[in-house]
Amino acid sequence: MVLSAGLTNEQIEASKTWVYDFYKAFDSLDLDRWLPEFHKADITLNLGNLPTMKGLEAMHEHFERQNPQLLSMRHTMKNIDVFADHIYAQNEATFIVKNDPEHKEIKIQAICLFWKNINEKKASAIDVYFDPSALIERIQMFLQINA
């Protein structure tokens, strides 16, 4: 982990805990908990090459369409770098698509940039860099079954 000048070990550990809690809530697929607990109302989300989402409602609409297609989602942290106004989190996301008889695990490498001041509990913006094509392809294979 890169130590940012002026941050205490307690601030760094609290930020790391925030990231782990963020992904634990996200992996639960419970939007009603995850969205208001970790995101400001006017949040901006850049998710790969998708159009920018602005606000909790836009995020809710997106994930409300995606999450029912998933049997499970799990993020494993590889690295977290904490700075005063942002956090980098490198992770591996593992997905299983609903109605997939093989329960094939789709693994995607991602880097997430959380724009959040060190003492804040909610992110004002999030940028996620990843290639979701393997997941999208697998979802489309079973989309008719899920409908």
Q: Tokens in use for 23?
A: 């992904």
Q: What is the pTM of this model?
A: 0.92
pLDDT at 112 over 80: yes
pLDDT at 144 over 70: no
Q: What is the mean pLDDT of residues 97-118?
A: 97
pLDDT at 147 over 90: no
User: What are the DSSP E strand ranges found in 14-122?
Assistant: 39-47, 53-54, 70-82, 86-97, 106-115
User: Can you tell me the distance from the alpha carbon of 55 to that of 66, in angstroms, rounded to the nearest whole number?
Assistant: 17
Q: How far from 143 is each of 59, 82, 98, 124, CA to CA, in Å?
A: 21, 39, 9, 33
The SS3 of residue 57 is helix
> What's the alpha-carbon Rg for the chain, to the nearest Å?
16
Q: Where are the domains of the chain?
A: 9-146
pLDDT at 2 over 60: no
Q: What is the mean pLDDT of residues 12-17?
A: 97
Residue 107, beta-bridge partner list: 94
Assign domain 9-146 to a CATH class. alpha beta
pLDDT at 1: 46
For residue range 56-85, list pLDDT tens digits in order.
999 999 999 999 999 999 999 999 999 999
